[in-house]
Structure 1
Amino acid sequence: MKVSRQLTKGAPDPQRGPRARTRRLMLETATRLMQSGATPSISEVAQAAEVSRATAYRYFPSQAALVHAVVDQALGPILMQSRAGSDAAERVDDLFRRSMPRIQEFEATFKAALKLSLDQWAKRQAGALGDEPPLTRGHRIDLLEDALAPLRGELAEDEFQRLAQALSLLFGVEALVVLKDIWNQDAAQVEAVTRWAASALVRAATAGRA
């Protein structure tokens, strides 16, 4: 049964309306602050966005929730892209080729998220984290396991997981900390090294398997 366009014309669009605009404003403001090197609190984002603290907390009940949403937005195209093909090496290389430029574009944002994660770890070690919700970080697990999917069943589960874990050392802002901040590499060099290392790991894991 077809639905009349007139009947659906007034239906609310979840991507529009005052609530969506306010949420988008807060995310854009938080992104701008994080790209400048800050790890803003809810109150700081509310002040910069010129919305009330009460309103801000309705959208993001904790700093971790806000930072997680900003990271999701920065990762956007990476999370949405699909990988075809049955060659795991090609799928992994495609993931790194498409992702590393985006990670470098939002380097400051991802470093701000990393800083919050490290700050929370320090508080937890000192018994001072309290009821503060932890910042969850796990997108790279899903992305890497998806890229490696053709190897499921070909590798033993412990071998599959070890390969995914090894690749996770290369995929993310931590690789930029090492290659840019310590080795002073530029963007092209960072991408070249991470793709080379990822390829070497896949070859090593699958060596001798037809």
Structure 2
Amino acid sequence: MSDVARQAESTSTATRGGRTNQKERTRRAILDSARTLIDAGDEVTMPEVARTARVSEATAYRYFPDLPTLLREAMHESWPGAAQIMAPVAHLTDPIERVAHATDYLLRHVHTHAPAVRATMAAAIVRPAEILRPAYRLGLIEAALEPLTDLTPETLTQMRQDLVVVMSAEAFFTLTDLYGMSSEEAIASVVSTARSVMAARLS
């Protein structure tokens, strides 16, 4: 290969690398913009995300095909994970207390990020085959029930199913939207229900 050809190939490779880096920076800016809006508890729309990321709305859609896809990835980055959430009660073996802690944390997360959670839920209802909700509660339930090694598989399965219904954004929004409870009252009510469900199953 001649010197000229090698130089041309090197320039082409550098150009491709620069474009890749620019695309990653743009994608990162869009995600960071969405996270900032989500963490502030603001309503998240693609035009607002694009504006704060300093890109066009068309550019935002090139990186994320729809708002729920963007919300899902942005919220995932702000979710600490089940092990970290359960760390304060890791020393406890009482499953009722562990479930109460997990429920309280989950619903406070829902309350803090309510606009984004509502938008994701709404999209999933309209397009259930396309929109995947994060389902953070599933990991939390598994972590909370970890000490229960002496129960039958059938009992554990039923317990998980009970808790999936109780530990949910749906339960929280039902109490706040339809029953008129404050966020604190709703969280306390769902935590109490989770305790009752666990006590009933364990007995």
Return the TM-score normalized by structure 2: 0.71
Residue 96 of structure 1: which of 81, 97, 103 is its match? 103
1:15-94 to 2 correspondences below 5 Å: 22-31=26-35, 32=37, 35-38=41-44, 40-41=45-46, 45-46=49-50, 49-52=53-56, 56=60, 59-60=63-64, 63-76=67-80, 80-83=84-87, 84=90, 85-94=92-101
- Residues 38, 113 of structure 2: 8 Å contact kept: no
In structure 2, the residue matched to 1:119 is 126
Equivalent residue, structure 2, for 1:129:
none
- Measured in 1, the distance between the counterparts of 2:133 and 2:107 equals 21
CA, structure 1 residues 78+181, in 2 after alignment: closer, same or farther (shift >3 Å)?
Answer: farther
Matches within 5 A, 1:117-156: 117-121=124-128, 133-151=130-148, 153-156=149-152
190-199 vs 156-165, which moves further: 156-165
Tell me how far 1:171 sits from its aligned partner: 1.8
- Could you say if the C-alpha distance between residues 173 and 119 of structure 1 is closer, same or farther in structure 2, counting changes exceeding 3 Å? same
Q: CA deviation at 1:19?
A: 6.7
Asked if the contact 2:108/2:187 (under 8 Å) is kept, the reply is yes
Q: Tell me the CA shift for residue 64 of structure 1.
A: 4.2
Give the number of aligned pairs: 178
Shift in Å, 1:33 = 7.3
5+ residue gaps, structure 1, are 1-16, 125-132
Paired with 2:137 and 2:156, the residues of 1 have a C-alpha distance of 15
Contact 2:100 2:191 in 1 (8 A): yes
Deviation by residue 1:73-104 (Cα, 9 ceiling, x = unmatched): 44337673234122211111111233322221
Which is helix-richer, 1 or 2?
2
Matched letter for residue 163 of structure 2 = L
Q: What code does the residue aligned with 1:93 have?
A: A
CA RMSD of aligned residues (A): 3.0
**2:176 counterpart (175, 180, 183):** 180
Label 1:73 to 1:93 Cα distance change in 2 as closer, same or farther (>3 A).
Answer: same
Deviations 1:107-148 (A, max 9, x none): 111111101111213xx5xxxxxxxx4324322111111111
Taking structure 1 as reference, are residues 188 and 53 closer, same or farther at Cα in structure 2, changes over 3 Å only? closer
Structure showing greater Rg: 2
Q: Does 1:108 align with 2:115?
A: yes
Which secondary structure does the structure 1 equivalent of 2:86 belong to?
coil
Unpaired stretches in structure 2, ≥5 consecutive residues: 1-20
1:200 equivalenced with 2:196 (yes/no): yes
Q: Any idea what the Cα deviations from partners look like across 1:175-208, whole Å, max 9, x if unmatched? A: 122100010000221111011100001101110x
Partner of 1:76, secondary structure, is coil
User: TM-score, structure 1 length as denominator?
Assistant: 0.69
Distance 1:74 1:176, change over 3 A: farther
